[in-house]
Amino acid sequence: MSNVHVIDHPLVQHKLTLMRKKEASTNSFRRLLNELAMLMAYEVTRDMAMQEVQIETPLETMTAKVIDGKKLVFVSILRAGTGILDGMLSVVPGARVGHIGLYRDPKTLTAVEYYFKMPQNMHDRDVVVVDPMLATGNSAIAAVERLKELQPKSIKFVCLLTCPEGVAALQQAHPDVPIYTAAIDRQLDEHGYILPGLGDAGDRIFGTK
């Protein structure tokens, strides 16, 4: 699992545990996801290219670092990706945002695309795809496949939780795409849910069901 980064920072793990609890309210689930996404953004952007620029402080001129190149793109897989997107945008407010609408066919568990909207000049940009749950891997694989048509500079995938089946599926289809996650849970059940997991992320973020 060389291309999988489990972010086992105590703050990340503590917040994830609170989110897993079935009694966590919609309000606290959403707030915790937001905070977790900020912490994960910190890790996923660690290797961003920098350039040096001349600036003037109130006291003198100096050479200082800024992020290089065209703005990063966060691509949110609708609808649950929105929960991670909001937190990431609070840390990288200048990032561009793309959306992919995919729903999971409840019978076949395959991904069906209904929406796709990306910023311009994707070939000059680094992409971070966000979706809280990497379960069967079908949505992630379909999203990455579609994005690769636009030939971005790089693609990373960020989820909150995954399982061995999801990691294996995404890595087999797209071995060049690193996965960032807070935990790899035990297994997938026959309905495509992660166990022990946290339930349906979309329902918990939006208070639906």
On whether 68 is known to bind a ligand per the annotation, the reply is no
- Which of 17, 104, 110, 146 is catalytic? The answer is 104
47 is catalytic: no
46 is catalytic: no
On whether 194 is known to bind a ligand per the annotation, the reply is yes
Is 133 an interacting residue with respect to ligand URA (CB under 6 A)? yes
Q: Which residues contact 59 (CB under 8 A, 6 or more apart)?
A: none
96 is catalytic: no
Give exposure, 28-44, as e/b (b: 16+ Cβ within 10 Å): ebbbbbbbbbbbbbeeb
- What is the C-alpha separation between 26 and 14, in angstroms, rounded? 17
| Among the listed residues 74, 104, 67, the one whose alpha carbon sits nearest the alpha carbon of residue 88 | 74
User: Interface residues for ligand URA in 176-195 (CB under 6 A)?
Assistant: 192-194
Strands 133-134 and 161-162: parallel
Is 197 an interacting residue with respect to ligand URA (CB under 6 A)? yes
Distance of CA 157 to the CA centre of its chain: 5
- Options 12, 135, 169, 182; binder of ligand URA; rule CB under 6 A: 135
On whether 199 is known to bind a ligand per the annotation, the reply is yes
Catalytic positions, written as ranges: 104, 108, 200, 203
Which residues of this protein are in contact with ligand URA, per CB under 6 A?
133, 135, 192-194, 197, 200-202
**Binding positions:** 79, 104, 131-139, 194, 199-201
